[in-house]
Amino acid sequence: MSLLETVHGPERLRELSAEELDTLAAEIRAFLVERVCATGGHLGPNLGVVELTLALHRVFDSPRDRLLWDTGHQSYVHKIVTGRAAGFDKLRRRGGLSGYPNPAESEHDFVENSHASTALSYADGLARADAHHGRTDRAVVAVIGDGAMTGGMAWEALNNIAGGPDRPLVIVLNDNQRSYAPTQGGFADHLGELRSGQPGPPGLFEQLGLAYLGPVDGHDVTALEVALRRARELRRPVVVHVVTEKGRGFPVTERNELDRGHAVKPMDPATGRPLKSSAGPSFTSVFGRELVRIAERRPDVVAITAAMLEPTGLLPMQQRFPQRVVDVGIAEQHAVTMAAGLSLGGVHPVVAIYSTFVNRAFDQLLMDVALHRRAVTFVLDRSGVTGDDGPSHNGMWDMSVLQVVPGLRIAAPRDGTRLAELLAEAVEWEEGPTLVRFPKGPTGEDIPARSTFAGTDVLHRAGPLDVLIVSVGALAPVALQVAEVLWAQGIGATVVDPRWVTPVNPTLADMARRHRLAITVEDNSRMGGVGSTIAQFLRDEGVRTPLREFGIPRRFLQHGSRAEVLSGCGLTAQEIARAVVEEISGPAEDRTGGEAIDFEREMARLIDRERGGETR
């Protein structure tokens, strides 16, 4: 039996000798490589915190002492030593372990802090709560690193921790010199000075009034224990500076100088090659390619990323125009307002960011960009359902949140060709901000339009004008499948893609009037989504055709594949078609006046008028 097989909780770690801990660390690394290469997940961050996690659980008594992980993707070793090793066969899969701390999984997890730079605020609150209740018998430990200290929220918390009364709060700064890629900025330079050990004036943390211990070798369990025990004994806010190596112990991640195996897809551990071949170009790669083409024509275009250069597709731009790409670290708020400043200075910024992270910069987008009508283009990757990263990473709120922003134009391309077209249109718009959003994964085959009606693409027509299906973005294949299922039951349908979903194209009112029922299909929350906006627009236009919205319900979605999560939301062709059949009934008549009309003739007349340029 291996040592790892005997570890079912943290108490077992306290029984091991130094030699046994070294053996266990090696076994854990081998376990991580085997399991994460099979399932995919955050490999590099966890290979770097093996000894640190062992030392933390030997010094502190979890769950009585609260251990918080920031960001949470470095918590795999914590999960292993708290009795969850068996769950790694289904890591990030439906019914299996989450890729982040999850209070539903274990009493050793306190918050699902999968967005960076939050743990210090949680820790400050927990320490203050203990002080409020007069508890002095436990500690709060926040493990922050992997670039999370580049986020402004971490410094807001640090300012309050340093300025408050002394409380037992230990900040473990996991310094691996990286967020996703190498960490940028003045703070990273300061940590480099501390790592060098050169004598000098008091460091930043000490100047703030915090105790400082380190730097400590993050792969020496004995040295780590000495520092952590000293930090606990101080019973005040203290920073323990731990130096670790991301991706340590696995040649594939050690050789990867870009991200050190930060997040890997299922791969062969011997070669690092993906287990599955690519299913064609991804939306991300198409964006990256097209942005370079635009930048070659437009010397005023500059790209901005928040610590996600490669994942958002900006690596080709950085390689082609290194001086025209800015990585601000995990600082979305700064990225957006800096973009407003660039726009004021005559530059057209393209801010590439995950949909889930744009939530953090809503105020800046609203007040610093939109209020001043700045021409900034936002590109939201991972919009809609992303799946395996779980509830915090689904991009299911962007259109609900951002449609309220005055003057913001939002595009949702259905395929790679439309992404290229809409990105070009977005960057050309100089009257205010624009946004292009797309999902994670391959673009699939292009879906050409049968015709274009005043900017709205007609993708499908069959039978009488019973149902108008408004397809939003990458759910076009589902919308077309719905039309096929309906036609098999004798129900006619028109499938249209408005391309620009905000503002609403006025021609949707003309189309809706000539159908018995209108539906919208989107991978965004039904609350405040595109469907809700179109419904309001139709009411304002006096259109009496009923509208039914199909989207994501108002709840957090657990991890699983994109297809599984969409199916769980009822966003399948069969489920939508069944609901439409139940909704539609009675003769084909004009709901606005009760007089039967020739729907086919009306649609043909409107499309012919558009082709003649009357609506342009």
Q: Is the pLDDT of residue 589 over 50?
A: no
d(CA 326, CA 184): 10
Question: Is 468 strand, coil or helix?
Answer: strand
pLDDT at 256: 85
pLDDT at 159: 92
Catalytically annotated residue among 79, 92, 360, 499: 360
Determine whether the annotation assigns residue 116 to a binding site.
Answer: yes
Closest by Cα among 332, 286, 303 to 442: 286
- DSSP characters over 515-560: SSEEEEEEEEESTTSHHHHHHHHHHHTT--S-EEEEEE-SSPPPSS
Q: Is the pLDDT of residue 208 over 50?
A: yes
Q: What percent of the chain has pLDDT over 90?
A: 71
pLDDT at 599: 45
pLDDT at 597: 45
pLDDT at 610: 53
Point out the least confidently predicted range of 48-52, 102-106, 299-303, 370-374.
Answer: 102-106
Question: Is 421 strand, coil or helix?
Answer: helix
Q: Is the pLDDT of residue 607 over 60?
A: no
Mean pLDDT value across residues 50-66:
97
Q: Tell me the backbone φ, ψ of residue 281, rounded to 5 degrees.
A: -65, 145
Point out the least confidently predicted range of 223-232, 236-245, 274-283.
Answer: 274-283
Q: Is the pLDDT of residue 596 over 50?
A: no
Closest by Cα among 51, 43, 65, 57 to 11: 57
Point out the least confidently predicted range of 146-150, 336-340, 489-493.
Answer: 146-150
Mean pLDDT value across residues 551-565:
84
For the chain, the structural domain boundaries read: 4-255, 283-437, 451-611
Sequence-distant (6+) residues with CB within 8 A of 104 are none
Question: From 3.40.50.970, 3.40.190.10, 1.10.8.80, 3.90.1150.10, which CATH number describes the 4-255 domain?
Answer: 3.40.50.970
pLDDT in tens, 384-435: 888 777 777 888 889 999 999 999 999 999 999 999 999 999 999 999 999 9
pLDDT at 275: 86
* Structural contact between residues 386 and 359, judged by C-beta atoms closer than 8 angstroms: no
pLDDT at 190: 84
Q: Is the pLDDT of residue 614 over 50?
A: no
pLDDT in tens, 89-118: 999 888 889 888 999 999 999 988 778 899
Question: Is 47 strand, coil or helix?
Answer: helix
DSSP summary character for residue 182:
B
**CATH superfamily membership of 283-437:** Thiamin diphosphate (ThDP)-binding fold, Pyr/PP domains (3.40.50.970)
Mean pLDDT of the chain: 90
pLDDT at 183: 76
pLDDT in tens, 436-449: 999 999 999 999 99
Q: Is the entire prediction scored with pTM above 0.75?
A: yes
Catalytically annotated residue among 112, 332, 522, 564: 332
Q: Are strands 456-462 and 451-453 parallel, antiparallel or unpaired?
A: antiparallel
Would you place residue 544 in the very low, low, confident or very high pLDDT band (cuts 50, 70, 90)?
Answer: very high
Catalytically annotated residue among 35, 167, 246, 248: 246
Q: Active site includes 265?
A: no
Determine whether the annotation assigns residue 146 to a binding site.
Answer: yes
pLDDT at 500: 97
pLDDT at 560: 76
Would you place residue 47 in the very low, low, confident or very high pLDDT band (cuts 50, 70, 90)?
Answer: very high
Determine whether the annotation assigns residue 200 to a binding site.
Answer: no
pLDDT at 606: 63
d(CA 73, CA 393): 12
pLDDT at 92: 87
451-611 and 4-255 share a CATH fold = yes
Fold of the 451-611 domain: Rossmann fold (3.40.50)
Determine whether the annotation assigns residue 176 to a binding site.
Answer: yes
pLDDT in tens, 292-338: 999 999 999 999 999 899 999 999 999 999 999 999 999 999 999 99
In sequence order, the β-bridge partners of residue 380 are 353, 437
Q: Active site includes 90?
A: no
pLDDT at 585: 67
Determine whether the annotation assigns residue 254 to a binding site.
Answer: no
Mean pLDDT value across residues 201-220:
90
Q: Active site includes 332?
A: yes
Determine whether the annotation assigns residue 115 to a binding site.
Answer: yes
Mean pLDDT value across residues 345-365:
96
Q: Between residues 340 and 272, which one has the greater pLDDT?
A: 340
pLDDT in tens, 259-293: 888 888 899 998 888 888 777 899 999 999 999 99
Other C-beta atoms lying within 10 Å of the C-beta of residue 165: 9
Other C-beta atoms lying within 10 Å of the C-beta of residue 268: 11
Would you place residue 180 in the very low, low, confident or very high pLDDT band (cuts 50, 70, 90)?
Answer: low
Would you place residue 516 in the very low, low, confident or very high pLDDT band (cuts 50, 70, 90)?
Answer: very high
Other C-beta atoms lying within 10 Å of the C-beta of residue 56: 28
Question: Is 177 strand, coil or helix?
Answer: coil
